[in-house]
Amino acid sequence: MAIGFVLISAAPGKEHDVYKALLKISEIVELHPLFGEYDLIAKVEAKDFDAMGKIIVGKIRAIDGVVDTKTLTGTKF
């Protein structure tokens, strides 16, 4: 399983709409609003990193109001 943390910037005034849309994505297992450079952080779980890429590009970045994302991937020690 692949785990990623996606930092999400939303267009001004669209933060709440983006938040509500992200809640509908089943692969997002945690979602938190932030203060600062990014507006939201989402914890994403996928079967592998190829699937994660498809979720980020095809589902998260496709949401109206998402301006930018930065993905941090997890690993095991």
Residue by residue, pLDDT tens for the chain (77 residues) are 999 999 999 999 999 999 999 999 999 999 999 999 999 999 999 999 999 999 999 999 999 999 999 999 977 77
Name residue, tokens 């692969």.
Answer: 27
Q: Which domains does the chain have, with CATH numbers?
A: 2-73 (3.30.70.920)
pTM confidence score: 0.93
Long-range contacts of 54-59 (CB under 8 A, 24+ apart): 55/25, 55/27, 56/4, 56/6, 59/25, 59/27
pLDDT for position 75 = 74
Q: Which pair of tokens denotes residue 32?
A: 């938190």
